[in-house]
């Protein structure tokens, strides 16, 4: 089966879900294919002030997640008016240099929400990612600013909205027998694990039946 994780690099909830993502990859290693995709937030989805951002962080990190640390709103820049494509474009550009895993996007997110670095600035986002991946900063920036990378990010964002969801993180689970489960906004592993286990069990049952009986395909 395949597990697709839609994210926005600067989303606090995507930061909180990373341990769940790691747990799923460890639990289902060899049994599921994992992929993350960018789902850009609209400008209006971002906080309108640093004070509002801190309010969100106290709610998500403190009240809901009970985190021992509070996220850092230093990345916020009122002048950007919600325009924060740079960190996402840089994370996506990392794929062109062999970084399809979590390393670069996590480095950028950590720099922003833990260290308060203003990664909305392309130069800052590139510097963080280039250091994390030991990449040539000029080449990475050229890729991040390319039409090809922008097109990929726009396409994955459109895919996200095509699922009729608007909350990140989101997980789309698909299996070999045509089943699909959609989770949007959840960060805890339990509902995902229960669903994945069920889907894997159903797929195994179909395979076992096909091994002993004539196949007529997947039932409608």
pLDDT of residue 65: 94
Q: DSSP characters for 146-189?
A: SHHHHHHHHHHHHHHHHTT---SSEEEEE-TTS-EEEEES---H
The set of residues, in sequence order, having a beta carbon less than 8 Å from that of 137 and lying 6+ positions away, is 126, 127, 130
Give the global pTM.
Answer: 0.93
Tens digits of residue pLDDT in 60-109: 998 999 999 999 999 999 999 999 999 999 999 999 999 999 999 999 99
Q: Residue 204: which pLDDT band, with cuts at 50, 70 and 90?
A: confident
H or E element that contains 2 = strand 2-7
| Contact of 126 with 141, CB cutoff 8 Å | yes
For residue range 9-45, list pLDDT tens digits in order: 999 999 999 999 999 999 999 999 999 999 999 999 9
**What length does the chain have?**
220
Strands 170-174 and 2-7: antiparallel
Q: Residue 218: what pLDDT? A: 56
Cα 195 to Cα 101, 129, 134, distances in angstroms: 24, 34, 38
Tell me which CATH code domain 2-212 carries: 3.40.30.10
């Amino acid at each position: 089966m395949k597990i697709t994780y839609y994210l926005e690099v600067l989303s606090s909830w995507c930061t909180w879900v990373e341990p769940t993502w790691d747990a799923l990859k460890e639990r289902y290693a060899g049994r599921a294919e994992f992929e993350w995709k960018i789902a850009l937030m609209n400008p209006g989805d971002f906080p309108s002030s640093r004070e509002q951002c801190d309010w969100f962080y106290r709610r998500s990190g403190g009240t809901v997640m009970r985190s021992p640390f509070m996220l850092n709103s230093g990345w916020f820049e009122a002048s950007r008016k919600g325009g924060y494509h740079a960190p996402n474009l840089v994370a996506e550009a990392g794929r062109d240099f062999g970084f399809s895993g979590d390393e670069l996007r996590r480095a950028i997110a950590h720099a922003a929400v833990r260290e308060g670095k203003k990664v909305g600035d392309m130069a800052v986002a590139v510097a963080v990612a280039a250091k994390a991946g030991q990449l040539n900063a000029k080449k990475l920036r050229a890729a991040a600013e390319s039409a090809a990378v922008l097109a990929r990010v726009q396409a994955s964002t459109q895919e996200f909205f095509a699922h009729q969801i608007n909350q990140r993180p989101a997980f789309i689970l698909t299996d070999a027998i045509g089943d699909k489960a959609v989770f949007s906004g959840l960060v805890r592993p339990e509902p995902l694990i229960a669903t994945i286990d069920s889907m894997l069990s159903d797929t195994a049952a179909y395979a076992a039946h096909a091994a002993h009986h004539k196949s007529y395909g997947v039932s409608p």
